Amino acid sequence: MNVPEDLLYTKSHEWIRREGENIRVGITDHAQAELTDVVFVELPKVGASVEAKAPVAVVESVKAASDIYAPVKGTVVEANEALTNNPALINSDPFGEGWIFALKIDNADDLKNLQSAAAYKDQIET
Amino acid sequence: MSSAAGKKTPLYQKHVRLGARMVPFGGWLMPVQYTSIVDEHQTVRNAVGIFDISHMGQFIVSGNGARDWLNAMLTNNVAKLDVGQGQYTFLLNDNGGVIDDLILYRIGEAEFLLVVNASKIEEDFAWLESHLKKERSRPGGLGAAASPCQLKNRSADFGGVAIQGPRVVDLFHDLLGQNVELPARNHVIDFVIAEMPVSIARTGYTGEDGVEVFFRASDAAKFWNLVLERGAKFGTKPCGLGARDTLRLEMCYPLNGSDLSADRNPIEAGLGFFVDLEKPNFTGREKSLETKTNGARERLIAFKMNGKGPPPRPHYSLFSGENRVGEISSGTLSPSLNIGIGMGYVSAASAKIGTPLEVEIRGQKFPATIEKKPLYKKQS
């Protein structure tokens, strides 16, 4: 299972890429494999203020709907509109084209609550 | 997934080795998928899929009183069955609600096989056994002396697979010889394949041509391997419960526990065809007749979403205008139609084909239309 070293991770299987004052968020390779064929994504509204651990998007497979959570407090600055027509990008390229949204973060210190690639690897292997 | 969550079929190790995702289902640990639900769905629509159905139950009812007793316990007319023929039928409670839907085969002059849902094996058996006891002690009943029928639960002795898809006949000609004829639709024939005695029934739950094969539990792994090996050239692949569910829902075949339940009768579910009200007496007849005569208050309808959107799912509310008229019993994204589909119970006034509905999903309403069953028709 692919767990890129340069990303941060949540317990709920989101990945976080730091981009200056913003973060980009998606779900991990492990999560997409668990969910299987993604058939629909409900994106957050750009401009929305979100609390840490609040559900902000929904990823639906054939079998189930799963909430996607904001890793930290912030404001939604981008949503990946490409997923509307091609939700399967989450399966084919979870860490790239399959990103879900970007947040402008309120406080960079909040990122300290997230886990490293090594810690996430431990989480999914046990 | 906790392995304490369920019983294992004789094919459990095969599934694990094939990398299947195992989930609890009806008290069993079953494969929900091996690669992808959508791929496995298309395999069955275009080639051949093999499903483990060893979790399903098998009861044998035999003896001179078997036919008449089963006719009083089940809704369809057992007297219409020739030896080697099967029928879809219901086991109802005293209120006419569905305990189980099952297939009854007449496998001998006075011998019947009931194939029942995995989650209902114990309940069905207890129900049948308690009625058989009552029948034995009833004055003027079949009685112990008058060749009462025997009821046996043989579920643990048999394994089974469903083999479904347009190339199933090619596969069985390869296994049995080009000149061997498969049983006709809804019929069952015994064969020996590679020294394994098997019963092959021409039936299924997918809408494709197909068979369900039952064999000794100890032969399960050998039979499974044989089908995958010899079936490879016809595109045969293992398929899980996920695809089984999307395939059956496209055909509007009901799933007990979702579309059928103890407080709904088959008439409300639109399955009156399998309830023979001409029969003078069977459990649940009065309520079925009453529903048929007075009309159902709610009916099980099939619908398609009008456009792209989140897939409909069980328990989402169905609206007609401002009024909540019912809820979804089964829903999914149809891999064949690439649109959301489902079934649900709605008030009879809103149940006509063509009626526009709205599905409420996370507080938002999405348009849908009631469609004729089945939702998927094979292109020929």
What tens digit of pLDDT does each residue of B207-248 get? 999 999 999 999 999 999 999 999 999 999 999 999 999 999
pLDDT tens profile B286-332: 999 999 999 999 999 999 999 999 999 999 999 999 999 999 999 99
Domain that holds residue B347: 297-373
pLDDT (tens digit per residue) in B84-100: 999 999 999 999 999 99
Same domain membership, residue B364 and residue B218: no
Which residues in B lie closer than 8 A to residue A58 (C-beta atoms)? Answer: 310, 362
Of B216, B249, B282, the position where a domain reaches its end is B249
Q: For residue B61, give the 3-state DSSP assignment.
A: strand
Residue A126 pLDDT class (50, 70, 90 cuts): confident
Q: Could you tell me if A92 lies within 8 Å of chain B, comparing CB atoms?
A: no
- Per-residue pLDDT, averaged over B126-151, amounts to 76
Mean pLDDT of chain B: 95
Closest to B38 (Cβ–Cβ): which among A60, A62, A65?
A62
Q: Do the Cβ atoms of A62 and B32 come within 8 Å?
A: no
How does DSSP classify residue B311?
Answer: P
Q: In this complex, is the C-beta atom of B18 within 8 Å of any C-beta atom belonging to chain A?
A: no
Whether B38 has its CB under 8 Å from any CB of chain A: the answer is yes
CB contact under 8 A, A60 and B310: yes
When CB atoms are compared, the residue of B36, B309, B310 closest to A36 is B36
Cβ contacts of B37 on chain A, cutoff 8 Å: 36-37, 61-63
Contact: B242, A63; criterion CB under 8 Å: yes
Edge to edge, what strands does the sheet with A55-61 contain?
A38-42, A55-61, A65-69
Q: Could you give the ipTM of this predicted complex?
A: 0.86
* Any B CB within 8 A of A65 CB: yes
Read off the CATH number of the domain in which B357 is found: 2.40.30.110
Name every chain B residue with its beta carbon within 8 A of the beta carbon of A60.
Answer: 310-311, 333
CB atoms within 10 A of CB B278: 6
For residue B58, pLDDT beyond 80: yes
Do residue A62 and residue B313 have CB atoms under 8 angstroms apart? Answer: no
Are B363 and B240 within one domain?
no
Strand (E) positions, A7-96?
A: 8-9, 14-19, 22-27, 38-42, 49-50, 55-61, 65-69, 74-79
Judge whether B163 is closer than 8 Å to chain A, CB to CB: no
Q: Could you tell me the pLDDT band of residue B66, with boundaries at 50, 70 and 90?
A: very high
Nearest to A62 among B308, B309, B332 (CB): B332
Segment A3-32 shows an average pLDDT of 97
At B373, is the secondary structure helix, strand, or coil? coil
Omega cis (within 30) before B374: yes
Query: Pick from B304, B300, B364, B294: which is nearest to B326 by CA?
Result: B300
Q: Is residue B268 part of a domain?
A: no
A37 → closest Cβ in B37, B308, B310:
B37
Task: Check CB contact under 8 Å for B36 and A60.
Answer: no
Phi, psi of B243 (to 5 degrees): -70, -35
Range list of H helices, B115-219: 121-137, 168-176
Last residue of a domain, one of B190, B224, B249: B249
Q: Give chain A's mean pLDDT.
A: 96
User: Is the per-residue pLDDT at A28 higher than 60?
Assistant: yes
Could you tell me the pLDDT band of residue B142, with boundaries at 50, 70 and 90? low
Give A67 to chain B, closest Cα distance, Å: 11
Cα–Cα distance, B233 to B170 (Å, whole number): 10
- Measure CB to CB from residue A42 to each of B36, B308, B310 and give the nearest one: B310
Average pLDDT over residues B28-39: 96
pLDDT band at B72 (very low <50, low <70, confident <90, very high): very high
Q: Does the residue B342 lie in any domain? A: yes
Instruction: Assign B154 a pLDDT band (cuts: 50, 70, 90).
Output: very high
Please name the member of A37, A42, A65 whose beta carbon is closest to the beta carbon of B38: A37
Half-sphere exposure at residue A120, Cβ-oriented, CA atoms within 13 angstroms: 26
Q: What is the mean pLDDT of residues A36-64?
A: 96
Q: A63 touching B, CB under 8 A?
A: yes
Whether B93 is in a domain gets the answer no
The minimum CA-CA distance between B90 and chain A, rounded to whole Å, is: 28
Q: Using CA atoms, how far apart are residues B23 and B39, in angstroms rounded to an integer?
A: 19
Q: CA nearest B37: which of A53, A7, A29, A91?
A: A91
Residues B304, B307, B308, B313, Cα dihedral to 10°: -30
Q: pLDDT category, B4, cuts 50, 70, 90?
A: low
- Determine contact: B228 vs chain A, CB below 8 A: no
Number of H helices, E strands in chain A: 4, 9
Residues B303 and B174 in one domain: no
Among residues A56, A79, A70, the alpha carbon closest in space to that of A110 is found at A70
Which chain A residues touch B310 with a CB distance below 8 Å? 40, 42, 58, 60, 65
CB-based contact (8 Å) between B363 and chain A? no
Q: Is residue B23 part of a domain?
A: yes
Is the minimum CB–CB distance between B23 and chain A shorter than 8 Å? no
Residue B70 forms part of a structural domain:
no
Q: How many helices and strands, by DSSP H and E, does chain B display?
A: 8, 19
Task: Please check whether residue A55 touches B, CB under 8 A.
Answer: no
Number of domains chain B is built from: 2
Q: Do B311 and A37 touch (CB under 8 A)?
A: no
Please say which residue of B249, B273, B305 terminates a domain.
B249
pLDDT of the residue at B147: 42
Range of lowest pLDDT (A67-76, B26-35, B128-137, B258-267): B128-137
Q: In B232-347, which residue ranges form alpha helices assigned H by DSSP?
A: 241-250, 285-294
Instruction: Say if residue B2's pLDDT is above 50.
Output: no
Q: Flag whether residue A45 sits within 8 Å of chain B, measured between CB atoms.
A: no
Distance from C-alpha of A102 to C-alpha of A24, rounded to nearest angstrom: 4
Burial of B3 (0-12, 13-18, 19+ CB in 10 A): exposed
pLDDT confidence of residue A1: 83
- Out of 2.40.50.100, 3.10.20.30, 3.20.20.70, 3.40.640.10, select the CATH number for domain A8-103: 2.40.50.100
Task: Encode pLDDT of A56-75 as tens digits.
Answer: 999 999 988 999 999 999 99
Kindly identify which residue of chain A lies nearest to residue B39, measuring between CA atoms: A37
- Partner A contacted by B241 (CB < 8 A): no
* Average pLDDT over every residue of B155-182: 97
| Residue A22 reports pLDDT greater than 80 | yes
Residues in B closer than 8 angstroms to A59, CB to CB, are: none
- Do residues B34 and B170 share a domain? yes
Q: Are B52 and B158 in contact (CB under 8 A)?
A: no
